[in-house]
Each structure stands twice: as structure tokens, then as C-alpha cells.
A and B are shown apart, each in its own frame.
Chain A
């Protein structure tokens, strides 16, 4: 049965254009599970086995990596000189209570919180989150990557943000490589999902605080392109995992809200210029969405995040 479903999904993928495939996934969801996600306690992501993929892992990986890494988000936030907000961040003391896929999602969430705290020079908070990461990493046999020795090394470098980011990049890459080597791709997928949702959640909170920050609005508007990729990643994996189906429903809910927003300049004219190995691409300014419009995403994003962090 499973192989039949994989065959059907693969065939569908080959014969249907991407947009149509998305609609088919959406239709299946609506017909099969209902239109609006509701939190089902039995469908917790904790400890659940994942999963059968209808497309090769390499393809899933390509879509997942479209989301910016916590390290990249941190550098961007540092560059934007955003303030530190404690309220939207996750509770670091809960890290010991997560296991399985939920733990992986929270690993991504804590990594992003850590990167944000560090980017805004809140080192004490950053190390609290790093300790949470260390506790969670122990569950997956990757705690050597965030060992106390390494945490101390990061602590010694706290006034050198570039060095810290360099080391964090290295550790982040080690986590990915290790999870893949251990055949823990579903964990990696949830970790990236968690990190991405947390960066969106923080950006929305920052925009709510200061609606005049255009770069934050741009980052949120960009989700219109990113979201279909994540929906694809979770849409191809509904064969056996209830948790994945639940995540997919929440993602579809975010997309529904996003689709109701009219984002102007769908096909923004771009002018590339190349000089001495530097490519500069100038994008024509499109119609901008107001912060109020973008903040309508806050609730559906919060609902997905709540699903990932609930204990």
C-alpha cells in the first residue's frame, strides 16, 4: 500500500505542474481532514515515528534549505539593529521536557532564540538558550557539538560577535551533517521548521513593536514564496505521520491568510549588473503591504508555534 502511495505521489509529481500539485495537496487535506486545524492532543509531535516520503530526500532538503539559517537571520537582525524583546521568545527551562520530533523542532526554536539574543548583545540570555540546546542535543547523541567546553569557548568570545557567528555556523553545519549521517532526516526537517517559524515569530513581534521597519515587512512578505516550499515538504509526507499532517494543516492555514493579502509586484522587474565579480540586482519597488496587513499572519504562525512547543 505504502509503495503504491509513493508511486501515485511520484507520478502526480511528474505529470502535474507545481501549482496544481499544491492545490491537490490542499484539496486532499480539506476533503480528508477538514478545513481548519484544531489541536489534537493525540497528534503531538512528541516521539512519533516519521515517515515515508513520496519524493527523494535530496529534493526535500533543497526546499527546506530555502529558509534562512539561524546564523543568517542573526547577522541580518544585527545589521538591522533591532531591539531585544524577551516576551516572544521560548521558555529555556522547558528544554528537558521535549523528545522525539517535537524536541527537534524545539532545537531549531532554541537555536534561533539564542542567535537573536546574541545578535542583540544579550549574552546572558544567549547562553541560557545555548544550555537549552545542549540539553536537547543530548537526546539525539549530538551534545558533543554543543558541549560545555564549546559553550565556554563561545562565552569567552562574546564580545567578538563575528567569531561567535563563525563558530555557530560550524556547529550548525555539524548538526545537519550528523543528523543526516545518523539517518535522522525527519529530525533535521523539524529542526529547520522550528528555526524558521521562530524567526518569523520574532520578526512579526518586532514589526508589531515598530511598524515603520520596511526590511522586517519585506522578510514577512517573502513568506509568500517560502511557504509553498514548506507545504510541499510536509505535503509529500502524509503517508504515516500524524504530526506531519498536523504541521501541514497549520502551514496551509498560514498560507490561506497570506493568500488573502494582495502583494503587489508579483513579477518585480529585476536589473542585474556585474562588475569585477560583484553581481548587484536591483528589484523594482512593488506595491507594499502595510504592517497591519502583514500582522494578520501573527495568529496562524503563533498557532503552529504553539503546536510545536506545547508540553
Chain B
């Protein structure tokens, strides 16, 4: 009985680890591939999205910096997750799905704002993550 319980536990643990690995692996893979000359802010958001679920991210964006938003994921349909960008009062400003499919988006704001970003898969399900990088815009950087 005890042996069976132990075997079940090992299988369960193994299954859990297996399910977690691709999701955990997303962060370094996407950072490596798409961050380029942006500086990662040291944080990430990660979620398993099923049946139309969304992951919500609150983020402070400063005026004068350029941001890189990297939505990455491993979904059942192989397509990357999309982003809906809202202001702090939850008014929709932009849905990246309407702008075509891209591996990353750069963002600049005319004033410092708290924005809410929704990460979602239009179809399919799977792990999704968002990484944010920032840098001084090129024009100003080259003027230094």
C-alpha cells in the first residue's frame, strides 16, 4: 500500500515538474531571443491560460523611456499570446491582435502612466509570459 502511494507520489511529482518545465523555460528563452539592447527590469509575469483566461499585468511606464513588451508562450496552437493595453481606469487603448502577429512590441508614452496589460490567447491554451525591457530612446542615447 505504502509502495503504491510512494509510486503515485513520484508520478504526480514527475508530471508536475514536466508540466512546469516548458513554462519556466519560457523566460530565459524569450529574454535571450528578443530583449536585444533593452534592459530587462528583472521581473516577469507567467500564467497557465485555459479556456479564454487572461493574465493581468499592472505596470508603471515612465515618459522618456522606450519599453519592449515581449509576450511569449507555448500554446496548443503555436501562436504567441496577444496583448490588450488598458489605461488605469480600464479603458481599452489597444489590442495587438488587430495589429498583426509580432514577437515583441515597443512602447512609448507621452506621460508617465500606470497601464493594465492583459495577456491572452485568442484560441488555444497553454503557458504565457510577459517580459518587459526598457531603454533610453535611440535619438537621445546617441546624443549623449
Contacts and interface: CB of A to CB of B under 8 A. Distances in A.
Contacts of A279: 85, 94, 105-108
Contact of B112 (A69, A171, A218): A218
B110 A281 contact: yes
A219 B109 CA distance: 13
Interface residues of B, number: 41
B22 interface: no
Q: Is the interface of B mostly helix, strand, loop or mixed?
A: strand
Contacts of B91: 267, 270
Contact of A274 (B57, B64, B99): B99
B136 A222 contact: no
Contact of A173 (B42, B89, B106, B109): B42
B17 interface: no
A281 B64 contact: no
Interface in A68-83: 68-69, 71-72, 75-76, 79-80
Interface in A37-93: 58, 62-63, 65-69, 71-72, 75-76, 79-80
A299 interface: no
B45 A172 contact: no
Given A277-B104, A279-B106, A215 B94 contact: no
Interface stretch (A23-31, A119-127, A161-169, A247-255): A161-169
Nearest to A173: B42
Given A62-B56, A267-B89, A274-B94, A215 B112 contact: yes
Interface string B85-124: 1011101011000010010111111111110000000000
Given A65-B57, A79-B65, A278 B114 contact: no
Contact of B106 (A176, A277, A282): A277
Interface string A280-311: 11110100000000000000000000000000
Given A65-B45, A79-B65, A266-B89, A162 B39 contact: yes
A65 B116 CA distance: 11
A173 B112 contact: no
Interface string A172-207: 110010000000000000000000000000000000
Contacts of B108: 278-281
A58 B47 CA distance: 9
Contacts of A79: 62, 64-65, 136, 140
Contact of A281 (B102, B107, B134, B136): B107
Interface in A202-218: 215, 218
Contacts of B111: 218, 268, 283, 285
Given A76-B64, A169-B40, A219-B62, A281 B57 contact: no
Contacts of A76: 62, 64-65
A71 B42 contact: yes
Given A76-B64, A270-B93, 20 more contacts: A66-B58, A66-B114, A68-B62, A71-B39, A72-B41, A162-B39, A165-B39, A166-B39, A166-B40, A170-B40, A170-B42, A176-B42, A218-B112, A219-B62, A222-B112, A225-B88, A226-B60, A266-B89, A267-B89, A281-B110
Closest 10 pairs between A and B when the two form their complex, measured CB to CB? A66-B58, A172-B42, A169-B42, A173-B42, A225-B88, A225-B114, A218-B112, A68-B60, A76-B62, A278-B106
